[in-house]
Amino acid sequence: MDDHKLFRQFICSTLGETSELQIIGEASDGPEAVQKAEELHPDLIVLDIGLPALNGIEATRRIRKLSPESKILFVSQESTGDVIREALGTGASGYVYKPDAGSELLEAVRTVLRGERFVGARFRGHDSVGGSDAIASRELPTEDACAPLQRTMEITHRHEAGFYPDDASLLDDFAQFIGPALKAGNSAIVVATESHRDGILLRLHAHGLDIGSAIEQGRYISVDAAETLSAFMVNGLPDPLRFFNVADSLLLNAAKAAKGESPRIVACGEGVALLWVQGNPEAAIRLEHLWNEMVKSYDVDVFCGYPLGSFHEQDNRIFQRICEEHSAIYCR
């Protein structure tokens, strides 16, 4: 699937940023991962659990017999304790939750190659913890191989991105992101195209939410993505002052209407995706950066949706830059 290929490219680019690592092979399913491991005997294998034909856990069991010196690092969407425990029980050296790969992957790789175990930050301290990609790498010698790694970005609030193969999956996740906040009495902002705004409303209604009341109370604010962009774009780029004026107005109105015990705001949208589709990736990245400034100032969680079909192999570096602006990423 294209989304898996895109995520493999993202991982390869991330690993390629450090000179002591060399990518020597890739695989898109379980049997191929086992075959590559037997042929290449890599120092490290980055493996998803959800591999086609043969899942990552079973593939690891076979790899351990064929290439026992290879260290295994899981990078997977699976987040349940039983699955993580089973994955690590195969003898794997680490586990990273796929949405956290942007901030944790390099740290995990360094830790595992030192012979230590790595478990993603969100799973640490949980008693329950003792996709389709496989990537093999070989460590190259370097004097500072054990130097601490710096995360590309530190974000205290949620600013997440999802990459979707179709409208239905994007709208489903938007509704799931918004629904819990509205049920708790909090506020939601939607910045989307007209058809997508209608689709989100239908899904929220199907989930049993009284959207009419939320709109009347001012807790559900829905605006057109193109019109919103036009309010702060200047010469093809977002003007920071105009953006902050627009965003401040939306967030302040939403905050006043929130009625939860701990008032919060959630905001989801596709303005950045429109800029990308229009062939203006630099504007999309700058807009993501401006939203990061907003999440530092307001108690707001932001979710951005992108169409996967608009990304191509030559866009890999831009894809990585977009990922770096987010606290978590999701690929359907």
Residue 263, token pair as written in the block: 């008032």
Assigned token pair, 105: 């992957």
- Residue 113: is it exposed, middle or buried by C-beta count within 10 angstroms (0-12/13-18/19+)? buried
- CA separation for the pair 84, 78 (Å, rounded): 7
Indicate whether 96 and 221 sit together in one domain.
no
Alpha helical stretches, state H, the chain: 2-16, 30-40, 56-66, 81-89, 101-113, 167-183, 194-206, 211-217, 225-230, 240-257, 271-277, 281-297, 316-324
User: Vertex 76, ends 315 and 192: CA angle to 5°?
Assistant: 50
Residues 129 and 164 occupy one common structural domain: no
Token pair 């993603």 is found at: 120
The pLDDT confidence band at residue 125, using thresholds 50, 70 and 90, is: low
Give the mean model confidence (pLDDT) for residues 204-210.
89
> pLDDT tens, 12-34?
777 777 778 888 888 888 899 99
At 286-332, the pLDDT tens digits run 999 999 888 877 778 999 998 887 776 556 778 888 888 888 888 76
| Same domain as 20, residue 106 | yes
Band of residue 134 on the pLDDT scale cut at 50, 70, 90: low
Mean pLDDT of 122-146: 51
pTM for the whole structure: 0.58
The answer to whether residues 171 and 121 belong to one domain is no
Structure-block tokens of residue 298: 């307001």
Domain final residue, candidates 139, 167, 202: 139
Q: How far is CA 98 from CA 7, 162, 252, in A?
A: 9, 12, 33
Task: Enter the tokens of residue 137.
Answer: 């790498």
pLDDT at 135: 57
Q: Which domain covers residue 112, as residue numbers?
A: 2-139
Q: Token pair of 153, please?
A: 């970005």
Report if residue 22 sits inside a domain. yes
- Read off the pLDDT of residues 230-249 as tens digits, 9 standing for 90 and up: 999 999 999 998 999 999 99
Per-residue pLDDT tens over the stretch 59-82? 999 999 999 999 999 998 887 888
Give me the CATH number covering residue 217: 3.40.50.300
152 is a domain residue: no
Regarding whether 237 and 294 lie in a shared domain, the answer is yes
Nearest to 243 by CA among 214, 200, 275: 275
Let me know whether 179 and 129 are in one domain. no
In a shared domain, residues 89 and 184 = no
Same structural domain, 134 and 169 = no
- pLDDT averaged over every residue in the chain: 83
Q: Are 229 and 271 in contact (CB under 8 A)?
A: yes
**Which pLDDT score, from 0 to 100, does residue 129 have?**
58
Output the pLDDT for position 36. 92
List of residues 6+ apart from 93 with CB closer than 8 A: 71, 72, 73, 112, 116, 117, 118
Number of domains the chain is built from: 2
Q: Is residue 134 located within the same domain as residue 239? A: no
Q: Are residues 103 and 57 in the same domain?
A: yes
10 and 101 both lie in a single domain: yes
298, part of any domain: yes
User: Where residue 21 sits, what CATH number does that domain have?
Assistant: 3.40.50.2300
CA-closest candidate to residue 20, choices 87, 108, 110, 118:
110
Last-in-domain residue among 109, 139, 169:
139
